Chain A
């Protein structure tokens, strides 16, 4: 989860990645997504991963998956996730996420 300024707000890794490498990885991934315009599709490739992202106001949610996942399912999963967050925290905004 990243804001428009490119700062990571929340990250979760499902494989072990060295903490120093994470920053680098996140910067590159963010750069790739932020540089895309609204007209472009929500899927892009980064190294061996496919990145699937959605933008909610100033917040980007980016998911990196390997080729065993379906893009469309992940794309909609992001939305489902956001709805769940909304449900729990009611009208989620970026700053709240820092605190919660």
Chain B
């Protein structure tokens, strides 16, 4: 059981049961006896004196802590609270803190007692009350006292020790119920506690302010300069100045750490004086690390290093002083070779974040040999793991081959717990920094060889995606997997990759008699029986691909497919594949086979699924690389909840019956790519994301998009196959858009599926619905129409994307265009007189409300055209408002579902300079910004 700060000697009388009875039964017996005794004392006629009450309440508490239930005595404990003796009051509070329940009757009494103590001006009692509030820390406590404590905290006559307790108590309440702690004028006075004489108060206040500042940065902004000056005083003080707060010759180490933490809630100070002072502090801390230690004791260096590490995190957080960053890096470099494991560990960890700063990336790279050495020689797995993280973070094109090679060789002996992560990291680095894709293929195959069990699906999907998308590496890949497969024992993942790649590109190496079609087939088939069902399914698909690639092995493969172990396999998926493939190979002509089994189309470019997996595994904190964070945004787009449903299902294996029937009919026009690309489940896996990936925006679509800002009808997109026309109308916050798809060819489009995609950012702000799907077949020369209903919920900047996928003459087409749904479409023009206009203009004079852009004219500066554009933009064009007749002013209201936003605009042309100045004022910054962008692009 837990022990507590409670003395057992209360059970002193006689029988020696010191809470450590010999048997459980004896203990229970003894406890029950004592409980009965206490109960009778409490119920007795004689009023108990304070001492006895305290004694029995204390016993009850001890019994509770031994693990027994207590169902009485609460009232007596509450009575103790109002005692004037410290010892009695203390036991009362202790009991309440441990055993409080939401018994409403008691809570009222307890709160009352606490309130009295808080108001008592007796520092000891106030302290007890504050400790009790903090240990209970419930919402009820916060409701009762969150308003009271700030007053105690900032009152001029409060004792230092009480101030400390009050600050920490408030912190506790704020953590549990931030909504109940009211911000007010006390906040500025709390900030000034950083200047307090008493360092204990400063320490407590710093903790409180740090937490408060994270949620209310504006309110506590002034703490920055105070924290800097306090820090500066500590750092420069002589080692004995601070008396009690000097720890082994280090002045106030924990307070320094806290102040440095607080500063990390804010960007670098703007005031040059404060900034200079802070830089000085940080330099001093770095200098001290180089000075000879004032004491040989380990406590001295530990405390000093604690401050140093926190200073380095602040330097990294600010990421603005190249000089400091490089010094920090050098300091950490020294620690990398320190004999203390703890320091090596922390140095590796800090350096990892340092590697992502552009100023220090190069400096970090100079330590590569040390880090690699750490990987080889460290005896602690957690340190080695940090070394792997750091290698990953410091990797770039220049050192990728070295780092990847080192990680691979470490992988052979790495601890099981971190292998998968290393595999993912190697796979990502190999891909990201591959100059030569043969190197990439080699690396991944090595990865599978060394740590096959830890290579997740994502890793081998990715290598296949890359090989398929890059034809320069396909022959090499085929040759390499073929060679790798010859190893007597190879990992199943290698069989998967090998099967897939040879199925696609086996023909590229078939010319060599050592890897003739039959040899390839026999090699793969020799692994077949050792593999799991999904791999076998994949291999069956490889076989049917071979039938197409190498007609000479067709009879052999048909024999295999025909064997009972395939045709009557207990596994439905395998059986179905065998039956279908056998039938396909017998019935279909070579042309049809060639169409059905044609090479896989390239995969759309997208974020590596491996990176996504690593992030999922470790959280974004370890994937600190700058590039990764940039990519992170695209994950949302690709992984978002927008998989075009129609195309996903079309691309996965059709349902069994449809498939079977389809084979009887003439050309089995498979939906999407041929059904021969992988295991059933795997197929879906490989495609489920890729189907949701839209093609990059069609070239020229940006220009087209801009043309639609001021008009509603016209041609949005046109290529040799397809024309997309638009007609749209908008009223208030609603809109309707007619989209016309014209097939410009004389051949049908098949599986024609347009999808509307709103990114996650856009999603909540704009809603678009396609009212009715179009017919999946568009005849040659025909035009089909589709209606999209649009609702603007609140202001937005991006535009939805229209993705169209279809098949034309056997090739898969994928087109994406931005739909010109822009914020200004929801304009309602407003007419007003000159006086009104300027009055409102002045009302919107807050700097955030105004956005101005000065730009060069891209089109001839024609007054009539400009007027037409402003009207087309949606606002009213106000004549005779601006004193200068050459200027244009407009006004209107943007209607969204949630609000209406008034907008005023003014365009001032300068004919000599061929420039415009555009000023927008609206009540919302983002709206001003967006409208200004949109309109500026029009002139």
Q: Which A residues form the contact surface with B (CB < 8 A)?
A: 8-11, 14-16, 39-45, 67-68, 70-73, 75-77, 79-80, 97-100
Given known A-B contacts A41-B341, A97-B3, A72 and B299 have beta carbons under 8 A apart: no
Task: Determine whether B383 belongs to the interface, using a CB cutoff of 8 Å to chain A.
Answer: yes
Question: Do residues A70 and B309 form an inter-chain contact, with CB atoms below 8 A?
Answer: yes
How distant is the Cα of A39 from the Cα of B341 in the complex, in angstroms? Answer: 7
Given known A-B contacts A72-B346, A73-B257, A39 and B302 have beta carbons under 8 A apart: no
Contacts of B303 in A (CB 8 A): 73, 76
Task: Determine whether B84 belongs to the interface, using a CB cutoff of 8 Å to chain A.
Answer: no
Given known A-B contacts A9-B3, A10-B3, A16-B137, A41 and B382 have beta carbons under 8 A apart: yes
B310 touches which one: A42, A45, A73 (CB < 8 A)? Answer: A73
How distant is the Cα of A14 from the Cα of B380 in the complex, in angstroms? Answer: 30
Known A68-B261, A70-B257, A99-B7; 14 more pairs at CB < 8 Å: A10-B3, A39-B379, A39-B380, A40-B381, A41-B383, A43-B342, A43-B345, A43-B346, A43-B382, A68-B210, A71-B309, A73-B310, A99-B3, A100-B7
Task: Determine whether B253 belongs to the interface, using a CB cutoff of 8 Å to chain A.
Answer: yes
Question: Do residues B380 and A40 form an inter-chain contact, with CB atoms below 8 A?
Answer: yes
How distant is the Cα of A70 from the Cα of B346 in the complex, in angstroms? Answer: 10
Task: Determine whether B89 belongs to the interface, using a CB cutoff of 8 Å to chain A.
Answer: no
A8, A9, A73 — most chain B CB neighbours (10 Å): A73
Question: Do residues A98 and B3 form an inter-chain contact, with CB atoms below 8 A?
Answer: yes
A14, A16, A40, A97 — most chain B CB neighbours (10 Å): A40
Task: Determine whether B5 belongs to the interface, using a CB cutoff of 8 Å to chain A.
Answer: yes
How distant is the Cα of A15 from the Cα of B176 in the complex, in angstroms? Answer: 9
CB distance from A54 to the nearest CB of B (A): 10
Question: Do residues B310 and A70 form an inter-chain contact, with CB atoms below 8 A?
Answer: yes
Given known A-B contacts A41-B342, A73-B257, A10 and B309 have beta carbons under 8 A apart: no
The residues in B between 208 and 257 inclusive whose CB is less than 8 angstroms from any CB of A are 210, 247, 253-254, 257
B382 touches which one: A40, A79, A80 (CB < 8 A)? Answer: A40
Question: Do residues B253 and A75 form an inter-chain contact, with CB atoms below 8 A?
Answer: no
CB distance from A95 to the nearest CB of B (A): 11
Contacts of A45 in B (CB 8 A): 382
Question: Do residues B299 and A76 form an inter-chain contact, with CB atoms below 8 A?
Answer: yes
How distant is the Cα of A15 from the Cα of B175 in the complex, in angstroms? Answer: 9
Could you list 13 A-B pairs, sorted by A, with CB under 8 Å?
A: A40-B379, A41-B341, A41-B382, A41-B383, A42-B342, A70-B309, A72-B305, A73-B257, A73-B306, A73-B307, A76-B247, A76-B302, A97-B3
Task: Determine whether B8 belongs to the interface, using a CB cutoff of 8 Å to chain A.
Answer: yes
Question: Do residues A75 and B8 form an inter-chain contact, with CB atoms below 8 A?
Answer: no
How distant is the Cα of A9 from the Cα of B313 in the complex, in angstroms? Answer: 35
Contacts of A42 in B (CB 8 A): 341-342
CB distance from A59 to the nearest CB of B (A): 13
Interface size class on chain B is 35 or more
CB distance from B209 to the nearest CB of A (A): 13
A15, A41, A71 — most chain B CB neighbours (10 Å): A41
How distant is the Cα of A52 from the Cα of B195 in the complex, in angstroms? Answer: 31
How distant is the Cα of A9 from the Cα of B1 in the complex, in angstroms? Answer: 8
How distant is the Cα of A16 from the Cα of B97 in the complex, in angstroms? Answer: 12
Question: Do residues A41 and B302 form an inter-chain contact, with CB atoms below 8 A?
Answer: no
CB distance from A11 to the nearest CB of B (A): 6
Task: Determine whether B2 belongs to the interface, using a CB cutoff of 8 Å to chain A.
Answer: yes
Question: Do residues A8 and B380 form an inter-chain contact, with CB atoms below 8 A?
Answer: no
Contacts of B2 in A (CB 8 A): 8, 10-11
Contacts of A43 in B (CB 8 A): 342, 345-346, 382
The residues in B between 467 and 503 inclusive whose CB is less than 8 angstroms from any CB of A are none
Kindly report which residue of chain B lies nearest to residue A38, judged by CB atoms. Answer: B341
Given known A-B contacts A41-B380, A80-B247, A75 and B306 have beta carbons under 8 A apart: yes
Task: Determine whether B344 belongs to the interface, using a CB cutoff of 8 Å to chain A.
Answer: yes
Contacts of A73 in B (CB 8 A): 253-254, 257, 303, 306-307, 310
Contacts of A71 in B (CB 8 A): 309, 342, 346
How distant is the Cα of A70 from the Cα of B260 in the complex, in angstroms? Answer: 10
Kindly report which residue of chain A lies nearest to residue B9, judged by CB atoms. Answer: A99
How distant is the Cα of A79 from the Cα of B253 in the complex, in angstroms? Answer: 13
CB distance from B371 to the nearest CB of A (A): 16
Question: Do residues B3 and A76 form an inter-chain contact, with CB atoms below 8 A?
Answer: no
Contacts of A39 in B (CB 8 A): 341, 379-380
B345 touches which one: A9, A11, A41, A77 (CB < 8 A)? Answer: A41
CB-CB nearest 3 A-B residue pairs: A72-B306, A73-B306, A40-B380
How distant is the Cα of A28 from the Cα of B621 in the complex, in angstroms? Answer: 24
Question: Do residues B309 and A72 form an inter-chain contact, with CB atoms below 8 A?
Answer: yes
Contacts of B261 in A (CB 8 A): 68, 70
The residues in B between 4 and 18 inclusive whose CB is less than 8 angstroms from any CB of A are 4-5, 7-9
Contact with A along B5-42 (1 / 0, CB 8 A): 10111000000000000000000000000000000000
How distant is the Cα of A85 from the Cα of B313 in the complex, in angstroms? Answer: 31
A79 touches which one: B302, B310, B346, B383 (CB < 8 A)? Answer: B302
Kindly report which residue of chain A lies nearest to residue B386, judged by CB atoms. Answer: A41
Contacts of A40 in B (CB 8 A): 341, 379-383
How distant is the Cα of A97 from the Cα of B307 in the complex, in angstroms? Answer: 31
Contacts of A70 in B (CB 8 A): 257, 261, 306, 309-310, 313
Kindly report which residue of chain A lies nearest to residue B1, judged by CB atoms. Answer: A8
How distant is the Cα of A41 from the Cα of B621 in the complex, in angstroms? Answer: 21
Contacts of B380 in A (CB 8 A): 39-41
Kindly report which residue of chain B lies nearest to residue A1, judged by CB atoms. Answer: B3
How distant is the Cα of A50 from the Cα of B533 in the complex, in angstroms? Answer: 42
Contact with A along B335-379 (1 / 0, CB 8 A): 000000110111000000000000000000000000000000001
Contacts of A10 in B (CB 8 A): 2-4
The residues in B between 378 and 397 inclusive whose CB is less than 8 angstroms from any CB of A are 379-383
How distant is the Cα of A42 from the Cα of B380 in the complex, in angstroms? Answer: 10
Question: Do residues B253 and A76 form an inter-chain contact, with CB atoms below 8 A?
Answer: yes
Contacts of B5 in A (CB 8 A): 100
Kindly report which residue of chain A lies nearest to residue B379, judged by CB atoms. Answer: A39
CB distance from B68 to the nearest CB of A (A): 13
Kindly report which residue of chain B lies nearest to residue A10, judged by CB atoms. Answer: B3
Contacts of B381 in A (CB 8 A): 40
Question: Do residues A76 and B306 form an inter-chain contact, with CB atoms below 8 A?
Answer: yes
How distant is the Cα of A42 from the Cα of B4 in the complex, in angstroms? Answer: 26
How distant is the Cα of A72 from the Cα of B256 in the complex, in angstroms? Answer: 13
CB distance from A14 to the nearest CB of B (A): 8
Kindly report which residue of chain A lies nearest to residue B621, judged by CB atoms. Answer: A67
Contacts of A68 in B (CB 8 A): 210, 261
Kindly report which residue of chain B lies nearest to residue A98, judged by CB atoms. Answer: B3
Kindly report which residue of chain B lies nearest to residue A14, judged by CB atoms. Answer: B172
How distant is the Cα of A49 from the Cα of B7 in the complex, in angstroms? Answer: 32
CB distance from B174 to the nearest CB of A (A): 13
CB distance from A46 to the nearest CB of B (A): 12
Kindly report which residue of chain A lies nearest to residue B257, judged by CB atoms. Answer: A73
The residues in B between 275 and 317 inclusive whose CB is less than 8 angstroms from any CB of A are 299, 302-303, 305-307, 309-310, 313
Contacts of A15 in B (CB 8 A): 175
How distant is the Cα of A14 from the Cα of B382 in the complex, in angstroms? Answer: 27
